[in-house]
Homo-oligomer: A and B are copies of this chain.
Amino acid sequence: MKEKKLKIDACFSPHLYPVYKDNDSIVVIIDVLRATSAICVAFEYGVEKMIPVATVEEAREYKQKGFLVGAERNGLAIDGFDFGNSPFHYMGDHVKGKTIVLTTTNGTQAIEAAKGAHKVVIGSFLNIDALCSWLLSQNKNILLLCSGWKNKFNLEDAVFAGAVTDKISHGNDNYKLGDACLALMYLYQMAKENPIKFLSHSSHKERLAALNLKEDIRYCLTPNQTKVIPIYKDGALVKL
C-alpha cells in the first residue's frame, strides 16, 4: 500500500486561516517585511520572550506596566514605544534576557489567528535553513501562513513561502503540495536569482522604499543570519 503523504500548503491571509486550519499542522508565520525578520533577530540577540499582541491598546497597557514594547502600524514605529518592527531595532545587548511585547500591522495578527494550532513557529529568510531542517525533522503537515498586507496577498511573503516549499520538497517525495505551494514554488524559482529586483514592483516594497527602508529590505531578504526558531508557547514566543 502506498504510504500517505504529508501535506504542505500555504494560506495568503490571516483572514483566510480558518479555511485552512486543522488540528495537525505546524503553522509557520511569515511576515518577511518586517515582523518575523525582527523577531528572529531579537532571539538571535538573546531576547528571552516576546509577547505578540493584536492591538496598540494592549501594547500600551503592557508599556504602562513597565514592559519593553515594539509597536508598528503602516510601516512606522508608533511614538511612545521602545521599538518599531525594524530588525535593526532588536540588534544589540539591550534586548538580551528581556521580555518584549510586540504589535505590528500584519505579523502579530497572523500569530493571533493561528495561536490555537498544534505548533506555531516564526519564519523569515534570516532563519530559513534552520527552519526547514526542523520542519523536515518533525514529520508533520505544514501550513505556511503569510501575513500579507492588511489581509491582502503580498509578494514577499509569497516568495518566502515558495522558498520554503522548494527546500522542503526538493528531492523529497514525502510531501504533497497544495495548489498554493505549487504556484509559490514556481514564483520562487523566478525570484531566487535576484529577490530584491523581483520584488521591486511589490506594493509593500514601494511602501517601505518611500519610508527610506532600503537597508531593512536588503537585510530581511538575506538568508541564514541565524539558526534560532522562535516558537509560540503559552501566549508568548520563546526560543525552540
Q: Which of A's residues lie within 8 Å of B, judged by CB?
A: 9-10, 12-13, 15-16, 19-20, 149-155, 158, 177-180, 182-183, 186-187, 190, 201-204
Q: Which residue of B lies closest to A18 (CB)?
A: B15
Given contacts A153-B180, A154-B179, A155-B179, 10 further A-B contacts (CB under 8 A): A9-B152, A13-B19, A19-B150, A19-B151, A149-B179, A153-B183, A177-B201, A179-B203, A186-B190, A190-B190
A186 surroundings in chain B (CB, below 8 A): 186-187, 190
Pair A155/B177 contact, Cβ less than 8 Å: no
Say how far A129's CB is from chain B's closest CB, in angstroms: 24
In the bound assembly, the distance between CA atoms of A152 and B183 in angstroms comes to 13
Pair A178/B150 contact, Cβ less than 8 Å: no
In the bound assembly, the distance between CA atoms of A152 and B7 in angstroms comes to 14
A187 surroundings in chain B (CB, below 8 A): 183, 186-187
Q: Which residue of B lies closest to A10 (CB)?
A: B153
In the bound assembly, the distance between CA atoms of A155 and B13 in angstroms comes to 17
In the bound assembly, the distance between CA atoms of A226 and B141 in angstroms comes to 43
A150 surroundings in chain B (CB, below 8 A): 19
A12 surroundings in chain B (CB, below 8 A): 12, 16, 153, 180
Q: Which residue of B lies closest to A179 (CB)?
A: B155
From known contacts A12-B12, A187-B187, infer whether A152 and B182 are also in contact, taking CB-CB under 8 Å.
Answer: no
A178 surroundings in chain B (CB, below 8 A): 152-153, 203
